[in-house]
Structure 1
Amino acid sequence: MENIYQNTNFQLSKNPRNEECPSSADAGKHNVQSMRDRRPTCTTEMLKCSLAALSLLLFCALGGLCVLGVLYETLSEDYSRALERLSVQQNNTNETERKYEELKADHSRVEGLLSQCNEKCQECPLLEEKWMSFGVKSYYFSTKLLDWEMSRDDCTKKGGHLVIITSNEEQDFLSSKSGDLRWIGLNDLETEGQWMWVNNQSLAETGVSFWHKRPNSLDEPDNWKVEDSSGENCAVLGSEYSSWNDVSCRKKKKYICEK
């Protein structure tokens, strides 16, 4: 029996291939070693991924810095140009203000001169628009053509009125100076045939009249209505015959003012 027991122990202590079986402690060490061999591989891959991500972030950050740099340069140039334009506009504004002040000063000087001239013209009315003296009156012979009413109003603006003829001497003087048919201050606009001066004095009251006489036809005034159906209601001085004619008030003619 003892021999059998000894043989059995011998056989159990040997594996079929005559190899020694590892103990449980050796097996545990082997498993730990296997885990240690596998762990470094995973850690390396994570490190590589982290480095790649960090590199990408750094690249993006660098690109952003480049873009910001370009924008800064562009904005700096725009700001500089804006400052230059603002400076030019400010200079233009200052120049405009300076010229405006000069114009105001010139305007004030001109107003002063005009005021002085007006005072002198009031003292010497004959210097105003080539007024011509005769007796106690002064006369203005127009160069522009107006109808009778506009002529009357223009004489009023000049401080006078359409001429009122009250003597043979005055009639001869005006006829010698007129040179053209000219409006005088005589009309029968209100009542046909009742001729009135612009001062509301009737022709009969002045005591003189110089209507043109025709030997073989109607004398003036004849109130001819061929050209104007309303008739001829305003008087002109005719230089050719030194007499008066009645004509349509709508015609444009030169005129004589007096004051």
Structure 2
Amino acid sequence: MPEADVIYTDVKFTTDRRSRSAEATSSSAQPTYCEVKIPQSDPTTRPEQPDSQRPAKRRGTLLTLERVALLVLSLLLAAAVAALFVTHLKNAQTKSELERLQRFPAVLNNYTGKTCPTCDEGWEHHGGKCYFFTTTPLTWNKSKLECSKLGGDLVVINNKEEQRFLVSRLMTKMINPEDKFWIGLTDSETEGKWMWVDGLPLNTSWNFWLGANPDNWEKEDREGEDCVRMGEKDGAPDLKCWLDKSCKEPQKSICEKQMGFYTSSS
């Protein structure tokens, strides 16, 4: 600590009243000096407070900053996980599309440029597929062969929307109630085990059988009714218009194939 500054001051002492007369003869009172030292505090030497006495506000601020940092790291981690998921999903979709295109070489050859989906002349487009409604009645096997020559196969119905589309189109193409069309469904291999022409079994959780069908009626054919035709001239609000029929009975048919692509010149 620096040495205290010295301050000088005059201090006068008075005598008792009884001695005032004697003092009166004196010209003046004699001053008496006194040295008084007053230490001055140095602001630069203020003692530090211990950690336990430091303001709690500073500790609270540090805790808040740690929580904010932890929250930011958590958000960054969540964003990274989401980005990885989106990338994985896109890769899976791309792989699926390439696998589909590999099953159709002509499509794959035209897929590298600017392409546009298209159906051949006489075919109708719906839901990424092309449909052809034949006009010549043939047996089920001959109808399947005819569809193959056209680059497709007898139609495989995968969902209610596709069934609704076919029902609406047949209403305009059927001449009379019995003018029905073959589809690619049969149990000719094993009775009662209905299979599509693509090798997949009929999903028993949904179907569009009309009334008591399939009934495997043997009156017209002793081998029964192993193939399926469809159609209602007046429409089918509930979409139920499948009937089993002898595969030898000539019927019109519905062919189906994937859409093609052509390279645009523009």
TM-score by length of 2: 0.47
Q: Which has the higher contact order (CA 8 A, sep 6+)?
A: 2
User: Which structure has the larger Rg?
Assistant: 1
Report the structure, 1 or 2, having the larger strand content.
2
